[in-house]
Chains A and B, each alone.
Chain A
Amino acid sequence: DAGVTQSPTHLIKTRGQHVTLRCSPISGHKSVSWYQQVLGQGPQFIFQYYEKEERGRGNFPDRFSARQFPNYSSELNVNALLLGDSALYLCASSRDRASGANVLTFGAGSRLTVL
């Protein structure tokens, strides 16, 4: 079975630009979460989507937005990029959102560099 797939794997943008990151969850998983991992730190929660609805939002500015499609894939959008947005963006899927014991399965991430 395919794992969580993310695209693109690497990208370079300049300040002020917009970026879209994509994620396909494991087949049968209905929940997708996005995390930002700055070098040397742990993943920070950005969004959680379940059944195409936003179910959780972390402490990130409105420049960050996301959506989930009927096939449960997801996009993370970041507008007006800042240097501080440079990070590894991780997508994780899980079967549902109702249990804290749910295991997140992570993709390999999209490495964003903002110049």
Chain B
Amino acid sequence: AQSVTQLGSHVSVSEGALVLLRCNYSSSVPPYLFWYVQYPNQGLQLLLKYTSAATLVKGINGFEAEFKKSETSFHLTKPSAHMSDAAEYFCAVSKVPGGSYIPTFGRGTSLIVHP
């Protein structure tokens, strides 16, 4: 079965500091991986996705993530945090042998940005 584990339910950074949100996946086949962001009282919005092309994926709002097969990781980074980045971030995996590609989401990491 496919799954993702997001390490740390909360991450706190200062404005301008590096953002690192961790995600490890479990999949029996090469996965498709996603990061979504959820702002308060809103639905989820796609930040970026990995679909077996380049291992370094660039997304919106300055975020990027690197697929590392040897570490089964897909961590999300941003060089300099902005106050507007404060939100809930979800990692998701989507690929099942012969399956229906229904994404499985992690529990989420709440990013807190201090002025």
Contacts and interface: CB of A to CB of B under 8 A. Distances in A.
A13 B46 CA distance: 31
A100 B90 contact: no
Given A106-B43, A106-B45, A108-B42, A41 B108 contact: yes
A4 interface: yes
Instruction: Bin chain A's interface residue count.
Output: 20 to 34
Contacts of B90: 42-43
Nearest to A50: B100
Contacts of B42: 108-109
Contact of A55 (B9, B92, B100, B104): B100
A48 B46 contact: no
Nearest to B41: A108
Contacts of B107: 40-42
Interface string B7-32: 00100000000000000000000001
A82 B90 CA distance: 27
Interface in B73-115: 90, 92, 94-95, 100-108
Interface of B: 9, 32, 34, 36, 41-46, 49, 51, 90, 92, 94-95, 100-108
24 contacts: A4-B43, A33-B102, A35-B105, A41-B108, A42-B92, A42-B106, A42-B107, A42-B108, A43-B90, A44-B105, A56-B100, A56-B102, A58-B102, A90-B43, A98-B101, A99-B101, A101-B32, A103-B34, A105-B46, A106-B36, A106-B44, A106-B45, A107-B43, A108-B41
